[in-house]
Amino acid sequence: MKNKLPIFCRLLDQLVARGLLMGLAVWLFSASSFAAGPGSQAAPGSSPLQVLQNSVKNWVAQSGHVSADQVVLAPLDARVKVRACERPLAMDVPFSNAQTIRVRCTQPVWQQFVQVNVAVKASEPQSQSKPDKTAEPAKRWVLVASVPLQRGMTLNETHVQRAQVDSTSMPVNVLEQASEVMHAEVVRDVRPGVPLRSHDIRPTVLVKRGQMVLMSVGQPQGFQISARVEAMQDGRFGEQIKLKNRDSGRELSGRVQGPNQVVGL
């Protein structure tokens, strides 16, 4: 009996050691599997501008039930520097013009307006038969220049008119309503009768740095306060700019609403 006891102890020690080794192996395998999971493969870093553009394309594609490849973004002003956002970007359509998308960040707080257009994919021919030359081409109501438009000109409703034109060779980003050119300026010369595209115009500077502007806070139909403040930077329609109260020296923020008019934020 005395000889059997040491043998039993050695066997028990071996079983315990093997169990610990197996547990260690299982733990190491699990840890390595976890470390090699999808979360460890970081995607290459994108610039804040690329993040903004991709977010807008995906949002417009989901809202309009189209492919992201069909969403065309107008280039931003070269002076605009897009900052990184620590939270998911929020988007909406604040104006009657559905082509203007507002992108907002809550941390840090900023917003940017982006002009978008959705390209219409051409349908594939259903047959190899020759087209009917007697059929009239499809027409579309679009906005065309009624007078020669020169670069830098500030537009109004008298400079444009709606006209029916052949849609077979129509660009995808053509404007359709006169309201789309309000508070806008021409960025390239356009001949009379030529359809206007979103890339032909941009929001005009309605507030200039150093000018005194009228800032309104509240609802027009209800309680509203107005005050004269100084613009600390130039601003186009819909842009957020910095303001300063000369009496108190306090800095404020407002969104450009019209010529020398801002809405307090």
What digits encode the pLDDT tens for the residues 207-256?
999 999 999 887 766 677 888 999 999 998 888 999 999 888 889 899 99
- Side chain identity at residue 10, one-letter code: R
The encoded tokens of residue 39 equal 């979360």
> What would the 3-class secondary structure string for 173-188 be?
CECCCHHHHCCEEECC
* DSSP one-letter code for 190: B
73-129: pLDDT as tens digits: 888 877 788 889 988 898 888 776 678 888 999 888 888 888 888 776 554 455 455
The CATH number that domain 205-264 falls under is: 2.30.30.760
Angstrom distance (rounded) from CA 190 to CA 211: 31
Query: What architecture (CATH level 2) is domain 139-203?
Result: Alpha-Beta Complex (3.90)
Instruction: Dump pLDDT digits (tens) for 129-181.
Output: 555 556 666 788 888 888 898 888 888 888 888 888 877 777 678 888 888 88
10 Å CB burial of residue 70 (0-12, 13-18, 19+) is middle
Domain boundaries, the chain: 48-118, 139-203, 205-264
d(CA 212, CA 243): 9
